Structure formats: C-alpha cells, structure tokens
Amino acid sequence: MDTKRFAVAALLIGLLGIALQAVQIATYDEYLSTEWSYAASQWNHLAFFTVIINFTVDVWLVLIAISIFFKLKKLYLRLTAPSLHGALVLYILTVSLIYCGFLFWFIGPYSMELWWGNIIDMWNHFIVPLFMVLVFWFAKITRPMPLRCLWYWQVFPLIYFLFSLIRGLITEWYPYPFFKPSLIIFPIGVVLVTATFIGLGYAIIRLHNAKTKPQH
C-alpha cells in the first residue's frame, strides 16, 4: 500500500471526492433544494454523517498520497494505524449499507435533469467504500487490533447522534428521517444503526486479526 502507484490512485480518488463535494454545494439550488427538500440550507448539507465521513476519507487519501510521495514515514504510520484506518472503513461501510438498505428507497434516484447526483451517490456509496475495503485488506500491517477499538469507534457516531438529536429538537430539522423522535421508525432506526456499527466493527477486527495472525 506504500507504492507510488497506490499513492497516485489515492490522490486522484481523494481529490475527485473533494471536487464532487464542492459540486454538491455549488449546485445547491438545483441539486439539494430540489431533490432533498429537507436539506433546508447548505450548512444542513454539511451536517449529514455521509458528507462528513466521505470528506474525511477523501482528506485521508490525499494525506496518505502526500506521505508516500514525500517519504513522510511518521505521518504514513499514523494514518495507517489499524485503529484509525479501521474506523474509517467502518464508517464508510456503514454509510454505504444504510444508504443502500434504507435511504435510497426513501430518496430515490435523481431525475434526468440532475443526472450528476446519481454519479455522486454512486461514487460516495459504492466506489469509495469498495476502494477503502480493498486498501484495508491488502495493507501490509502485521499489528493485531485489540477488541477495545470496537468501543472506541462508537464514540464519534454517538456524539454525532446526540448532537443531531439536540440540534433537531431546537431547529426541528433532522439529517435523517430515523433521527426524528416523533416518528415510529425512530427506535427501530436507532437499534438497526447501532447494531450495524457494532456488528461491522466486530467483523472488521476479527478479519484483520485473522489476516495478521502468524501462520504456523
């Protein structure tokens, strides 16, 4: 994963992801207000967990590429630490699964006039998650991952959920329909999302440790 070829791929994917985020914001009046009527402002768009995680992953990929190009070993080791890398894989995979399993059916595909919206969704929810999984699996890391990482990884989603819930109670705007306490889907959504984070996190740790286990 520390080759120049990988660095070029990571840089291109990261920069393209950032560019697509900029397109979403720049075309807000057409893209967001029309199709996502509940995204009442550009700032609300930035409050989606999907947007936060995709942007974080894009920046991570760019930094990885920079650390390889300029041989910044300390930066590279910190970025590829299994606890950090695993967290990003968990978050991007969870976003992908929730989108495919629920949000897509709630939002639906974009109209032909907003064709670029479908490309952006495909990129964010299929291509980038797949790339992150492949990078994580083929990374040359022999350090095992302690099970306690699973609980560390739940901290950020929990903080995000509590912040969104409190913010929603004040502003009456929620980034996702299952965040709204008045809806019957609220308790079901919370349980399913929590189970997804914990179940996927556990699977990531087990698979990683199985891969790094010395062969006798």
* Domain ranges across the chain: 4-212
Nearest-10 Cα torsion for 142, 58, 62, 88: -20
Residue 201 · residue 82 · CB < 8 Å: no
Residue 139 is predicted with a pLDDT of: 81
Per the structure block, which two tokens stand in for 146? Answer: 């302690």
Distance from C-alpha of 109 to C-alpha of 115, rounded to nearest angstrom: 9
pLDDT value of residue 40:
53
If you ran DSSP here, which 8-state letter would residue 81 be given? -
Q: What torsion do the CA atoms of 62, 66, 136, 201 make, to the nearest 10 degrees?
A: -60
From the CA atom positions of the chain, what is the Rg in Å? 18
Helix (H, G, I), strand (E, B) or coil at 40: coil
Secondary element (H or E) of residue 202 = helix 185-212
Give the per-residue pLDDT at 101. 78
Query: Residue 115's pLDDT is what?
Result: 61
Would you state the pLDDT for residue 177?
81
* pLDDT tens for each residue of the chain, 216 residues long: 668 899 999 999 999 999 998 888 777 666 555 444 445 566 777 888 999 999 999 999 999 999 999 999 999 999 999 899 999 999 999 999 988 877 665 666 666 566 677 888 889 999 999 999 999 988 877 778 999 999 999 999 999 999 999 998 988 888 888 899 998 989 999 999 999 999 999 999 999 999 887 654
